[in-house]
């Protein structure tokens, strides 16, 4: 899953006094801060403060720990320098934040500068979203409307002995509750009924200064009425790490983003633009990779970067998994070779205390793959970047231990029909290791700047996923950044097929586009035509298209789907599930144990069934999105062809809205529960039906009909197909079983609720909703009422007749409201 790059920076700015404080472009030349300054008569004597049993550390700032206080010596030449302040959790209570906040989690990130103000030092928060050249007249307006907020302020205590730095007591920055750098959000404060920060049990634990960064750890203790773990005596304590890193004076040349290639980005607003508005653009987030030998690079030779990307393995990582983690990280070298780099990314085991006593996973100079011992079933790949240019400074990949369980279960469910090695709770190490390798590769992809590309899964022909030669060369999708974990399309007779995802051609293309060094381009603007040409070279090939899958109506950007024909792919997937279910009791059995594993796997199998249904449903009322610029031919949005939509509804009638005797396996149910089977199937079917009758979907179909006329699959036709499918017993004069009765009642409930909710919205707003949804739903209920009235006695089954009369009463009640 995780998708996921943390972007808590924005939420911090909402908390602070001014959410839009900005950097406006290049700064004016400042006076030389390296000059010595004469001590003020108001200042104390340095030697009277820094004395006795003091623990000092030299680096970016010299730090002093003394009597529970922390002092910084802030050099004159580091004032008004851009520094990145990053907050991470080092230790925390069990289940804090519901299990998704763990040791190593990044909580806040912002750029700060230290300013001298009279006899004070102010720490201000800086942002770089709005920009303008200082020489431009509009600069003054941008400056006046985007004022830097002060995060922290402290009096200058003294000047250091060689008169090059101010001595400042910064203790309260870490022992008081400063919202910008703590981990107790308003949501968590409310959930745990936090009353206050207990300063008597909060303190600075350590401070270390390195040449380019300072690492401070401090413990925060809160009084809480409802802490996440009951054994915490009414308190919540957590150890935080604050990293302050000096950002480079020599900025990386930024690269303009393009929505046709997926990247995590930074938004910019240039008020110096000649356009009749601010020039809105985005920069991609990426590591700074520069070839050691630029001339050799120009000749097309593979060249090592000046500074490679290095990941260290958490010492807590079990030894048997380390080779797979290293492979997953270094798999990306194949993609970087497409961009002209060799050995661009390196994985190492963390040094021992003897090898490097100063090494710390919390040190922002080191990127670490953390192994977190929690029951959370996930992995994430966040990163920290320079908001001025998009340069990624550091990242931590987090692997949660119980994610192994997710892949064990999925492998059994989706490959058990085809592979004997998947038919066990003890998945062979080589296969679970390969899955872990690809999960780490996926998360490293996020840390390199790549978001999810859910559209990739629709690029390959469905039947190609049954081919050994194709899948072994190209994988399951063109991108490892898709959610396509196991090949559920392959059938038992398909030998030699690859079952686990891998890196694909899109990944190499995207890394080349984002990371290839362009020696002759001296600005982001000069790079753009070259980058555009690289996109146009691949235009029209679905292997190289991007679609995030979030908030879109494109069925090709489904999560967890495979293949270009969702109906066929889901039919293959369901065929495999039907072979798996009768064997689950045997495959999950453990000597002397109960049936909790069986219950878990069986429950997750139902979710996967629901996923296959969802993939098909997305085609109904779906709209293909093909991202283009104005110099490309063709449109961006096209409605899914009517023939595909009809085929999808026919599939749903055959597989979603029918009996599921194969799923309601008595041997399983009688081992895991005393009741609830009917409700479980009902909930799966209700979810599918609710999605199909979703208002937005119907509105898209109405619009499609208005644009394409008879070529469209109209909502009226769709509703008629669904009604005749769900109520097929009525039209065939057959008895209705308990499962179908549930579904039919749900249909009337959904249709009635849709009408009621839309009419209530009209009443609330005082407006008439200009939509065909209400009349369409009302017409369906009217037709159903008429059909039930004329056909209800065509079956001799007493329960079915009672059911038909009940449906009539429900429809009449709906009309009476």
When mean pLDDT is compared across 353-367, 408-422, 670-684, 760-774, the lowest value belongs to: 760-774
Both tokens assigned to 565: 């024909």
For 420, list phi and psi in degrees, rounded to 5. -65, -35
Tell me the average pLDDT of the chain.
Answer: 88
Predicted pLDDT of residue 27: 43
Place of tokens 């942002």: 127
Strands 150-159 and 165-169: antiparallel
Both tokens assigned to 744: 């039919």
pLDDT digits (tens, 9 = 90+) for 452-471: 999 999 999 999 999 999 99
CA distances from 518 to 317, 323, 474, 524, 543 (A): 38, 34, 28, 10, 24
Dist. CA 311–CA 303, nearest whole Å: 20
pLDDT digits (tens, 9 = 90+) for 234-272: 888 999 999 999 999 999 999 999 999 999 999 887 655
**pLDDT at position 131 over 70:** no
Predicted pLDDT of residue 106: 80
Dist. CA 527–CA 256, nearest whole Å: 8
When mean pLDDT is compared across 347-361, 506-520, 572-586, the lowest value belongs to: 347-361
Angle at 385 between CA 61 and CA 300, to 5 degrees: 115
What does DSSP assign to residue 286? B
In which band, very low, low, confident or very high, does the pLDDT at 11 lie, cut at 50, 70 and 90? very low
pLDDT digits (tens, 9 = 90+) for 215-235: 999 999 999 988 887 655 788
CA distances from 538 to 340, 505, 521, 535, 609 (A): 19, 11, 22, 5, 35
Both tokens assigned to 789: 């009235």
Percent of the chain with pLDDT over 70: 89
Strand blocks (E) in 149-261: 150-159, 165-169, 194-197, 203-209, 213-224, 235-246
**pLDDT at position 4 over 50:** no
pLDDT digits (tens, 9 = 90+) for 95-108: 787 766 777 678 88
Predicted pLDDT of residue 228: 83
**Within 13 Å, how many C-alpha atoms sit on residue 483's CB side?**
22
Return the number of other C-beta atoms located less than 10 Å from residue 639's C-beta. 22
Strands 392-400 and 379-380: antiparallel
């Amino acid at each position: 899953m995780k998708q996921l790059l943390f972007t808590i920076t924005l939420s911090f700015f909402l908390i602070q006094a001014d959410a839009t404080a900005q950097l406006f472009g290049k700064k004016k030349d400042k006076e030389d801060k390296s000059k010595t300054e004469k001590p003020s008569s108001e200042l104390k004597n340095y030697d009277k403060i820094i004395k006795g049993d003091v623990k000092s550390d030299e680096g970016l700032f010299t730090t002093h720990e003394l009597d529970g206080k922390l002092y910084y010596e802030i050099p004159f030449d580091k004032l008004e320098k851009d520094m990145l302040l990053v907050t991470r959790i080092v230790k925390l209570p069990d289940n804090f934040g519901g299990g998704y906040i763990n040791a190593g989690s990044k909580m806040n990130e912002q750029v700060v500068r230290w300013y001298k103000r009279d006899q004070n030092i102010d720490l201000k928060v800086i942002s770089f979203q709005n920009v303008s050249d200082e020489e431009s007249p509009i600069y003054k307006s941008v400056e006046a409307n985007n004022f830097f907020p002060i995060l922290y302020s402290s009096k200058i205590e003294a000047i250091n002995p060689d008169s090059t730095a101010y001595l400042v007591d910064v203790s309260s920055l870490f022992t008081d509750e400063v919202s910008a750098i703590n981990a107790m959000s308003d949501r968590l404060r409310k959930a745990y009924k936090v009353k206050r920060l207990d300063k008597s049990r909060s303190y600075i634990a350590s401070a270390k200064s390195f040449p380019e960064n300072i690492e401070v750890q401090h413990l925060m203790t809160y009084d809480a009425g409802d802490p996440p773990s009951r054994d915490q005596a009414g308190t919540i304590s957590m150890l935080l790490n604050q990293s302050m890193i000096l950002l480079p004076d020599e900025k990386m040349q930024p690269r303009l983003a393009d929505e046709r290639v997926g990247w995590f980005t930074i938004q910019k607003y240039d008020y110096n633009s000649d356009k009749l508005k601010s020039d809105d653009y985005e920069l991609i987030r990426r590591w700074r990779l520069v070839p050691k030998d630029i001339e050799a690079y120009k000749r097309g030779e593979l060249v090592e970067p000046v500074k490679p990307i290095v990941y260290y393995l958490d010492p807590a990582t079990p030894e048997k998994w380390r080779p797979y983690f290293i492979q997953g990280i270094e798999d990306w070298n194949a993609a970087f070779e497409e961009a002209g780099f060799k050995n661009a990314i390196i994985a190492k085991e963390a040094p021992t205390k003897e090898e490097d006593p100063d090494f710390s996973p919390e040190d922002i100079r080191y990127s670490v793959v953390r192994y977190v011992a929690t029951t959370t079933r996930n992995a994430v790949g966040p990163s920290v970047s320079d908001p001025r240019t998009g340069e990624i400074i550091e990242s931590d990949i987090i692997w949660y231990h119980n994610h192994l369980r997710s892949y064990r279960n999925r492998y059994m469910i989706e490959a058990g029909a085809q592979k004997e090695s998947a038919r066990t709770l003890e998945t062979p190490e080589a296969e679970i290791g390969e899955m872990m390798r690809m999960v780490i590769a996926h998360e490293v992809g996020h840390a390199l700047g790549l978001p999810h590309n859910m559209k990739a899964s629709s690029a390959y022909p469905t039947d190609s996923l049954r081919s050994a030669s194709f899948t072994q060369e190209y994988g399951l999708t063109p991108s490892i950044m898709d959610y396509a974990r196991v090949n559920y399309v392959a059938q038992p007779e398909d030998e030699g097929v690859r079952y686990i995802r891998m890196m694909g051609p899109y990944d190499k293309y995207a890394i080349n586009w984002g990371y290839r060094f362009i020696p002759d381009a001296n600005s982001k603007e000069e790079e753009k035509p070259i980058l555009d040409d690289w996109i146009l070279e691949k235009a029209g090939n679905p292997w190289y298209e991007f679609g995030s899958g979030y908030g879109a109506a494109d069925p090709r950007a489904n999560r967890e789907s495979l293949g270009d024909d969702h109906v066929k792919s889901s039919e293959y997937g369901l065929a495999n599930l039907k072979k798996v279910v009768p064997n689950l009791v045997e495959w999950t059995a453990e000597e002397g144990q109960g049936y909790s594993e069986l219950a878990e796997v069986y429950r997750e199998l139902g979710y996967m069934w629901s996923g296959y249904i969802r993939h098909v449903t997305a085609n109904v009322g779906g709209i293909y999105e093909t991202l283009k610029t104005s110099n490309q031919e063709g449109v961006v949005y096209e409605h899914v062809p009517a023939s595909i939509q009809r085929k999808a509804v026919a599939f749903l009638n055959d597989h979603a809205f029918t009996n599921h005797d194969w799923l309601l396996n008595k041997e399983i149910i009688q081992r895991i529960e005393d009741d609830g089977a009917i409700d479980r199937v009902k909930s799966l079917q209700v979810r599918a039906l609710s999605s199909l009758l979703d208002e937005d979907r119907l509105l898209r179909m109405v619009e499609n009909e208005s644009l394409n006329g008879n070529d469209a699959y109209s909502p009226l036709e769709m509703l008629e197909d669904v009604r005749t499918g769900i109520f097929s017993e009525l039209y065939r004069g057959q008895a209705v079983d308990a499962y179908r009765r549930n579904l039919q009642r749900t249909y009337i409930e959904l249709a009635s609720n849709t009408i009621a909710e839309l009419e209530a919205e009209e009443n609330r707003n005082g407006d008439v909703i200009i939509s065909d949804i209400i009349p369409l739903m009302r017409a369906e209920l009217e037709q159903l009422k008429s059909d039930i009235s004329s056909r209800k006695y065509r079956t001799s089954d007493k329960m079915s007749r009672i059911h038909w009369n009940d449906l009539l009463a429900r429809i009449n009640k709906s009309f009476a409201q």
